[in-house]
């Protein structure tokens, strides 16, 4: 089962990377390439969610839950995987609900911001998984510079929580302003 998990995790990672690229192309490039990126985004996001669910299920079957929760690195890996899944699920709902208007006005910037945050989350998830598989990466050095030691830390640094709260407040304010303008 360990090999199955190692194989399956590459599907959501690849689809999430592709979705992030499609969002950036759809948001910043004009013409046919942007149209194709926007049209392909929803199917890619749906496939990424299916792959992520399969990866999370297979990962939870690899070792007993007690063993997983005993290691700060595994807890962080699970936490980042769930955050990644949640963020890309939110992106999927936003793109599905907004349709062609997902890239209009301020919505474009919300998609770009969420995609970039999602990229950091799934990169962190993959880095932690690589450490668990015995293949550390240079990205963990970058995490260490932010105050997060991958082997021992089980928390979100205060600056991360502050940024998340500020982004949430900004998105709420943007939504309220947009709603008032629409009236």
Encode pLDDT of 132-167 as tens digits: 878 888 888 888 888 777 777 666 666 777 887 888
- CB-side exposure of 145: number of CA atoms within 13 Å? 5
Encode pLDDT of 96-137 as tens digits: 988 878 888 888 898 999 999 999 888 888 888 888 878 888
Q: What are the extents of the domains in the chain?
A: 2-182
Encode pLDDT of 49-94 as tens digits: 999 998 888 888 887 778 777 778 888 888 888 889 989 998 999 8
Encode pLDDT of 1-48 as tens digits: 567 777 888 888 999 999 999 999 999 998 999 999 999 999 999 999
Give the Cα separation of 77 and 150 in Å (integer).
Answer: 9
Calculate what percentage of the chain has a pLDDT beyond 70.
96
């Amino acid at each position: 089962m360990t090999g199955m998990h190692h194989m399956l995790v590459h599907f959501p990672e690849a689809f999430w990377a592709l979705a992030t690229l499609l969002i950036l192309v759809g948001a910043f490039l004009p013409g046919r390439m942007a149209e194709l990126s926007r049209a392909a985004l929803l199917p890619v996001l749906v496939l990424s969610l299916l792959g992520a669910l399969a990866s999370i299920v297979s990962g939870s079957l690899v070792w007993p839950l007690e063993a997983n929760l005993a290691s700060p690195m595994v807890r962080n890996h699970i936490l980042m995987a769930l955050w990644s899944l949640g963020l890309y699920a939110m992106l999927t709902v936003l793109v599905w609900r907004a349709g062609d208007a997902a890239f209009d006005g301020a919505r474009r910037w919300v998609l770009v911001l969420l995609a970039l945050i999602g990229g950091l989350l799934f990169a962190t998830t993959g880095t932690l998984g690589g450490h668990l598989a015995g293949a550390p990466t240079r990205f963990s050095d970058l995490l260490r510079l932010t105050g997060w030691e991958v082997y021992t830390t089980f928390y979100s640094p205060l600056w991360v929580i502050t940024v998340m709260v500020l982004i949430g407040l900004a998105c709420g304010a943007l939504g309220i302003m947009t709603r008032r303008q629409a009236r």
